[in-house]
A = this chain, B = another copy of it.
Amino acid sequence: MISLAELQRHIDSGELSPDAAIARSCDAIDAQDKTIGAFVCRSEKPRAAGTGPLRGVAVGIKDIIDTSEFPTEMGSTIYRGWQPRADASVVMMLKQAGATIIGKTTTTAFAATDPTATLNPRNHDHTPGGSSSGSAAAVAAGMIPLALGTQTGGSVIRPASFCGVAAIKPSFHLLPKVGVKCFSWTLDTVGLFAAGVEDLAHGLAAMANRPELLGDATNSTPRIGLVTQEFACAPEAASEEALRVAGVAAERAGASVRAIALPEIAAEAWRIHTTIQQFEAHQAFAWEYRANYDAMPPLLRGRLDESEHFTPADYEEARAIAVRARAALAETFEEVDVFLTFSAPGAAPKGIDWTGDPRFNRLWTLMGVPCVNIPAIIADGGLPVGVQVIARFGDDAGALKAARFVEKALKRT
């Protein structure tokens, strides 16, 4: 994989020109993407910017995010050839920081569950996960150092776990969603994929112009609460093992690690994630679903068919539960700095018909808290399995710092 932070150091020192860095990504895409299928379209003559912290950094943009220089087809024939006029805010943030938009990456249709043809770079017989399939796969295959995705259920953390890359779903609204196709306005969150946690921090700090996300030099050891999310049912053995290994590694490296119980309302919040997602999806996809029913991606259409029964009262009740759960969760964070939990139920499922289950991600998306995936173990078939570090709302710096600690601890094992 291409480390963004290392690339920046080579560029800063003059060893590598920004244009050469972009050319390297172009070559890697040429070599690999025929097999992997991570890109929907690519820049014909990508050029590096001369300034900015992300000069020389080739970025892939999930194809539900508007781009003024590329079509934005949302993984659906309904938007075939669709060319937005404006760049989404997050695309402009990247451009302002000097990044080069190298192309658009595959997405499940409308970032729901109808899969793409993208393969998992770690094992081509397996899904890369979704919905941000192409972004996770392009970083994992070493094509690009940075990619944007979005998460409504588990669409950033899950594919990152399946592909063995680092990823962050930042605090809700840290990155703006203007120009990002809406699935659920309460849940949709823009996230980043990169080789490692330091790379995520460099990318996010440059985009958001928040240097505090780079972290400080202090070597403090985090207080980690192990969370098993019983309400989401047990994970497979591989994810159990990933969490165990990560916990042991962190403890050996000096962290305090102990099991922690989530407030009771967390289970209820986890359950009503679907109510909020589907009630809002019916409004967000009203034109697609009502005026283009036959052309709708079949899995998404089926889920909308099944969820027509949610009423405004169901939705209000669900929102009230979410508010109470956020407050209760904030209290739990007085006991520990971060949670450590499963990123997915197991390694990437076989085949590319199904992108996997977001059940260990839903609660955290609804809570709006920052989540960072770190690859923890390699399971059968060479498939990576990650764990996620979760901090309190707004503490993205803390999430990144603790994730870096765990990542480093895992490398020692």
Interface residues of chain A, those whose CB is within 8 Å of chain B, are: 68, 78-79, 82, 85-89, 91-93, 95-96, 173, 176-179, 182, 185, 208-210, 280, 283-284, 286-288, 290-291, 312, 316, 394
Contacts and interface: CB of A to CB of B under 8 A. Distances in A.
B176 A280 contact: yes
Contacts of A185: 173, 176-178
Q: What is the interface of chain A mostly: helix, strand, loop, or mixed?
A: helix
A92 B209 contact: no
A315 to B, nearest CB: 10
Given A96-B290, A176-B283, A312 B210 contact: yes
Contacts of A284: 89, 176, 178
A210 to B, nearest CB: 5
Q: Give 10 closest A-B pairs by Cβ, nearest first.
A: A92-B286, A86-B287, A87-B287, A176-B283, A178-B182, A89-B283, A178-B284, A89-B286, A210-B312, A92-B287
Nearest to A320: B394
A286 B312 CA distance: 34
A394 B316 contact: yes
Given A92-B283, A95-B290, A178-B182, 14 more contacts: A68-B287, A78-B85, A79-B85, A86-B288, A89-B283, A89-B287, A91-B287, A92-B287, A96-B286, A176-B284, A177-B185, A178-B283, A178-B284, A209-B312
15 contacts: A88-B287, A89-B284, A89-B286, A91-B287, A93-B286, A96-B286, A96-B290, A176-B185, A177-B185, A178-B182, A178-B185, A178-B283, A208-B312, A210-B312, A316-B394
A85 B76 CA distance: 13
A312 B205 CA distance: 11
A394 B284 CA distance: 21
Nearest to A292: B86
Contacts of A68: 287, 291
A287 B92 CA distance: 6
A215 to B, nearest CB: 16
Contacts of A86: 287-288
Contacts of A91: 287
Contacts of A95: 290
Contacts of A82: 85
Contacts of A178: 182, 185, 283-284
A93 B284 CA distance: 11
Nearest to A211: B312
A177 B186 CA distance: 12
Contacts of A87: 286-287, 291
A179 B91 CA distance: 18
A102 B96 CA distance: 40
A199 to B, nearest CB: 21
**Which of A78, A92, A182, A286 has the largest count of B CB atoms less than 10 A from its CB?**
A286
A316 B178 CA distance: 19
Contacts of A290: 92, 95-96
A290 B95 CA distance: 10
Contacts of A173: 185
A51 to B, nearest CB: 14
A78 B86 CA distance: 10
A82 B176 CA distance: 23
A304 B155 CA distance: 34
A135 to B, nearest CB: 21
Nearest to A316: B394
A310 to B, nearest CB: 11
